[in-house]
């Protein structure tokens, strides 16, 4: 505990390493950071911290820790890794210069992060291949993965997934026993009970054109649909940042399983 506290004090005390350019920080913030933290550092959701009016030295120290991996956060590690030392100091100075948020303040989603071009594939159970299943014990869920022909053929051939590829994930609650534990079927996976949502990713020419380079996953877009196939509003920035480090795997977490599908 003492070491952790000491490290936090040291991080907070580290000054900016470069003369900061607030305008350059603003330009970077409005195109990338705004997707989650808001253009002026007032975030888009309760689960995302506000950056406005934080001390510049503290912000810079956290970004450096996220960049070098000593602070773990999958989405922010992927974004911070792409920032230069000057970017970090400029962003820290910019957000430090913004007025703090009121208790109820929340920024809206950027239009290009809210809008998705991925349609709901009505007939996917008949036309897609189910290639993987995964248990999620922490949430007592089981997820089933489907891919269309374009994705399947490319993966099997060892080629990058092309425009036209699509992956659908069915998210189910697991059936529970009397001790409130997921029931495991003969295949080793939780027995699905209630369908919660469909999580999808698809790509086509031009779909990534209005997404900033630091977030872009080539032409992939992401969407979530209700069990009835109705779209839910999501912040694509979170999906894009999470998948960003997978550029060598076509931005797909389950590419290995897809390539081995029978």
Using CA atoms in the order 51, 67, 248, 259, what is the torsion angle rounded to 10 degrees?
A: -70
What's residue 262's pLDDT? 85
In the predicted model, what is the mean pLDDT of the chain? 93
**15 falls in which pLDDT band (50, 70, 90)?**
low
Q: Both tokens of residue 110?
A: 């950027």
Distances (CA, A) of 101 to 63, 170, 198, 215, 257: 21, 38, 34, 25, 45
Q: Give one word for 218, left, alpha or beta, with left for phi > 0 and alpha for psi -120 to 50.
A: left
Strand partners, 225: 198, 231
What is the rounded distance in angstroms from the CA atom of residue 199 to the CA atom of residue 226? 9
- CA torsion, points 223, 245, 80, 201, in degrees to nearest 10? -10
In percent, how much of the chain has pLDDT > 70? 93
State the pTM of this model: 0.87
* 162 CA to centre of own chain: 21
Q: Which domains does the chain have, with CATH numbers?
A: 2-108 (1.10.760.10), 114-259 (3.50.70.20)
Listed range (6-10, 167-171, 187-191) with the worst mean pLDDT: 6-10
Q: pLDDT digit string (tens) for 74-98?
A: 999 999 999 999 999 999 999 999 9
């Amino acid at each position: 505990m003492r070491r952790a506290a000491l490290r936090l004090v040291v991080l907070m005390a580290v000054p900016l390493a470069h003369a900061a350019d607030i305008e350059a920080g603003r330009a970077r913030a409005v195109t990338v950071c705004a997707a989650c933290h808001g253009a002026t550092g007032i975030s888009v959701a309760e689960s995302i911290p506000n950056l406005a009016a934080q001390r510049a030295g503290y912000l810079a120290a956290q970004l450096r820790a996220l960049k070098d991996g000593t602070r773990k956060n999958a989405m922010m590690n992927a974004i911070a890794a792409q920032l230069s030392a000057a970017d970090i100091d400029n962003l820290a100075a910019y957000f430090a210069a913004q007025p703090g948020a009121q208790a109820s303040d929340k920024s809206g989603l950027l239009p290009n992060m809210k809008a998705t071009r991925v349609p709901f594939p009505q007939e996917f159970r008949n036309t897609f291949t189910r290639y993987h299943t995964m248990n999620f014990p922490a949430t007592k869920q089981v997820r089933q993965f489907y891919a269309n022909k374009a994705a399947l053929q490319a993966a099997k051939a060892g080629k990058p997934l092309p425009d036209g590829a699509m992956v659908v994930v069915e998210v189910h609650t697991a059936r529970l026993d009397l001790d409130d534990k997921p029931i495991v079927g003969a295949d080793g996976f939780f027995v699905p009970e209630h369908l919660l949502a469909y999580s999808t990713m698809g790509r086509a020419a031009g779909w990534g054109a209005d997404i900033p380079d630091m977030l872009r996953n080539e032409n992939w877009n992401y969407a979530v649909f209700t069990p009835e196939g109705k779209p839910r509003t999501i912040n694509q920035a979170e999906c894009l940042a999470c998948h960003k480090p997978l550029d060598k795997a076509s931005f797909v977490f389950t590419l290995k399983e897809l390539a081995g599908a029978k």
